[in-house]
Amino acid sequence: MTELTENSALIVIDVQKGFEDEYWGRRDNPAAEENIVALIRAWRSAGRPIVLVRHDSRPGSPLAAGSPGNELKDVVLKAFGDARPDLFVTKNVNSAFYGKPDLDGWLRERGIGQLVIAGIQTNMCNETTARMGGNLGYDVLYPIDAMHTFDAVGPDGETVTAEELTRATAASLHHGRFAQVVRTADLIGVSASL
């Protein structure tokens, strides 16, 4: 059974308009945004901390800083309504722990030892943040259905589907004990009972 701590922090990574660009190709999990919103609402309702992370990429990228694609998706902004996240982090690498302001310092100052990671992409910034979180001693929960990724071409030229990448990420995080891979419904049910 999934156990949430009272001040478990939800970290919502890179849910940005630029990921709707055809540049990225085919994605998996069309329910990702719906599940991300459900988590945001549950965390807001419970008064738990929420961290929003935005990737500020180089010029020419769909996520380039200052471009329309750099903006957070409307669905996330609507989930917050008039409220603001407890922390807003910007980064230009794969891990939210290498952003500004300092995520690790902020979490430790507040005695937060458990992280729930959601957002885009499953096998990129989400996975990197989860691995670093695990290495830093956090209890990481990884709701695999509250994120998505895209097909990718491997070094052999073969396409690895988004679904295959998601399965590999889940297995790697689970097997390596970096994170506990869960479903959104597991966390919503637990959140409501606290």
Give the per-residue pLDDT at 194: 42
Q: What percent of the chain has pLDDT over 70?
A: 97
pLDDT of residue 74: 97
Which of the four pLDDT bands, split at 50, 70 and 90, describes residue 189?
confident
Q: Which residues contact 130 (CB under 8 A, 6 or more apart)?
A: 115, 117, 140, 142, 173, 178, 179
**Residue 1 pLDDT > 70:** no
Calpha distance 91→83 (Å, rounded): 22
Residue 121 has pLDDT above 60, yes or no: yes
Mean pLDDT of 104-130: 98
- Mean per-residue pLDDT for 134-160? 97
